[in-house]
Amino acid sequence: MIVLENVSKSYSTGAPAINQINLTIEKGEFVFIVGNSGSGKSTLIKLLLKELEPTEGKIYVNDKCLNRMRRKKIPYLRRDIGVVFQDFRLLKDRNIYDNIAFALRVVETPIRVIKRRVPAMLALVGLSEKYRSFPKELSGGEQQRVALARALVNNPSILLADEPTGNLDPKNSWEIMKLLDEINKRGTTVVVVTHNREIVEAMNKRVITMNKGVIISDIKKGDYNED
């Protein structure tokens, strides 16, 4: 599903943001990526989205080698990867229905499909009754649910969540994590970048820890709380 082979990424300063990483994430896994600021987590996400090119090594996503991927193929790669950010990134001038539908319209999805999928996503995240509301009328937790619905509406095989609970209180944070767990149980591969150790410990999933651009530990599901 996701494979990195000896991947490094250096910026103009010459210092490596990621250094010789080898990583495999299988289809259907739920993986946390943790580490202090500057550890390389965000760089890793950008490499998987082909927003950045590796300085060395090879990256495979869904059996496709990103290194050899032509520019015109990148939108098709990203169509199969849903992304959720800390700051929601909703369109403020559009209601909730249109925010979610936007992700379908940009890939020229037929209207009949949009009319079916958007309500289904709203139901999944528990916001069916607020489809006419605008982002400013929603709480932070509700806005993140909309962002999650938008990321999932194209039925991606992979969901990348970059600090999805960073701007949320504990109650809403847990609600989002429960949704991510449910989405994973439906077959979507979920990769979550987070600083929230409490959530990581409680969820009991695979945990990859990064520090200064390298993976320093990779603890499998069920082993996190074992000494």
DSSP bridge pairs for 219: 207
Residue-number span of the structural domain to which 139 is assigned: 90-155
Phi-psi region of 183 (alpha: psi -120 to 50; beta: other; left: phi over 0): alpha
Q: Can you tell me the distance from the alpha carbon of 19 to that of 163, in angstroms, rounded to the nearest whole number?
A: 22
Q: Is residue 96 part of a domain?
A: yes
Q: Is residue 97 part of a domain?
A: yes
pLDDT of residue 227: 45
Q: Is residue 144 part of a domain?
A: yes
* 38: its two tokens: 């500057």
Q: Is residue 220 part of a domain?
A: no
pLDDT of residue 225: 56
- Give first-to-last CA distance, the chain, whole Å: 30
Q: Can you tell me the distance from the alpha carbon of 156 to that of 150, in angstroms, rounded to the nearest whole number?
A: 11
Q: Is residue 175 part of a domain?
A: no
* 54: its two tokens: 């590796």
Q: Is 205 exposed, middle or buried (0-12, 13-18, 19+ CB in 10 A)?
A: buried
* 101: its two tokens: 């539908």
pLDDT of residue 106: 87
* Ranges in the chain, pLDDT < 70: 222-227
* 158: its two tokens: 């992979």
Q: Is residue 147 part of a domain?
A: yes
Q: Is residue 98 part of a domain?
A: yes
Number of domains in the chain: 1
Q: Is residue 140 part of a domain?
A: yes
The C-alpha angle 125, 180, 171, rounded to 5 degrees, equals: 75
pLDDT of residue 3: 97
Q: Can you tell me the distance from the alpha carbon of 66 to that of 169, in angstroms, rounded to the nearest whole number?
A: 37
DSSP 128-195: GGGTT--GGGS-HHHHHHHHHHHHHTT--SEEEEESTTTTS-HHHHHHHHHHHHHHHHTT-EEEEE--
Summarize pLDDT for 17-31 with one digit per residue, the tens: 999 999 999 999 999
pLDDT of residue 191: 96
pLDDT of residue 222: 65
